[in-house]
Amino acid sequence: MANLLEYQARTILEESCIPIPPAVLVSKTSDLRKIKSGIWRGGFVVKAQVAAGGRGKAGGVKIVAKAGEAREAAREMLGASLATNQSAGSALKIKQVLVTQKVQIDREFYLAAVLSRKRAQPVLLISSAGGMGVEEIAKTQPQALVEIPIEAEGRVPSYRLRSAAVGPLQIPGPWINSFIAVAQKTAKAYWSRDLVLLEINPLALTPKGFLALDAKANVDENAFFRQPGNEALIKINASELTVAEKKAKALGISYVPVGGNIGCLVNGAGLAMATMDLIASHGQMPANFLDVGGGADVEQVRGAFELLLAGDSLSAIFVNIFGGIMRCDIIAQALVEAGKKRPLKVPLVARLLGTNVQEARNILEKAHLKNVQIFEDLEQAVRMVCQIEGKG
Partner 1 sequence: MAILANKNSKIVVQGITGKTGSFHADLSLKLGTNIVAGVSPGKGGQRHLGVPVFDTLEAAKAATGPLDATVIFVPAPLALEAIAEALDAKIPLIIVITEGIPVRDMVSAKKLLAGHESRMIGPNCPGLLVPGECRLGIIPGKITPPGSIGIVSRSGTLTYEAARQIAQAGLGVSTVVGIGGDPVIGTDFCQILDLFHQDPATQAVLMIGEIGGSMEQDAAAHWSGELGRAKPLFGLIAGKTAPKGKRMGHAGAIMEAESDSAASKAQVLKNRGVVTIDELTQIGQTVLERLGKTPAAVG
Opening angle at CA 353, ends 351 and 354, nearest 5: 165
What is the helix (H) or strand (E) element at residue 378, kind and residue range? helix 378-391
DSSP one-letter code for 220: -
> By CB neighbour count within 10 A (0-12 exposed, 13-18 middle, 19+ buried), where does 302 fall?
buried
What are residue 291's DSSP bridge partners? 254, 266
For 13, 33, 53, 62, 113, the CA distances from 8, given in Å and listed in that order, are 9, 22, 15, 20, 17
Closest separation between CB of residue 211 and partner 1, Å? 28
Closest separation between CB of residue 327 and partner 1, Å? 12
Of the pair 205, 290, the CB lying nearest partner 1 is at 290
The size of the interface with partner 1 (CB under 8 A), counted in residues, is 53
DSSP one-letter code for 151: B
Q: Which span sits near partner 1 by CB under 8 A: 98-106, 116-124, 171-179, 361-369? A: 116-124
From candidates 225, 243, 312, 368, binder to partner 1 by CB under 8 A: 225
Of the pair 63, 129, the CB lying nearest partner 1 is at 129
From candidates 39, 63, 144, 271, binder to partner 1 by CB under 8 A: 271
Q: Work out whether 311 is an interface residue with partner 1 (CB under 8 A).
A: no
Q: Which of residues 128-147 bind partner 1 (CB under 8 A)?
A: 135
Q: Is 148 helix (H, G, I), strand (E, B) or coil?
A: strand
Q: Which of 45, 34, 25 is nearest to 94 (CA)?
A: 25
Q: Work out whether 387 is an interface residue with partner 1 (CB under 8 A).
A: no
Q: Which of residues 195-214 bind partner 1 (CB under 8 A)?
A: 196
Residues annotated as catalytic are 110, 199
Q: For residue 72, is it left (φ>0), alpha (ψ between -120 and 50) or beta? A: alpha
Of the pair 99, 187, the CB lying nearest partner 1 is at 187
**What does the binding site for partner 1 look like in residue numbers (CB under 8 A)?**
1, 86, 88, 115, 117-118, 120-122, 135, 152, 191, 194, 196, 220, 222-223, 225-226, 254, 256, 258, 260, 266-281, 285-286, 289, 291, 294-295, 322, 324-325, 353-354, 378-379, 382
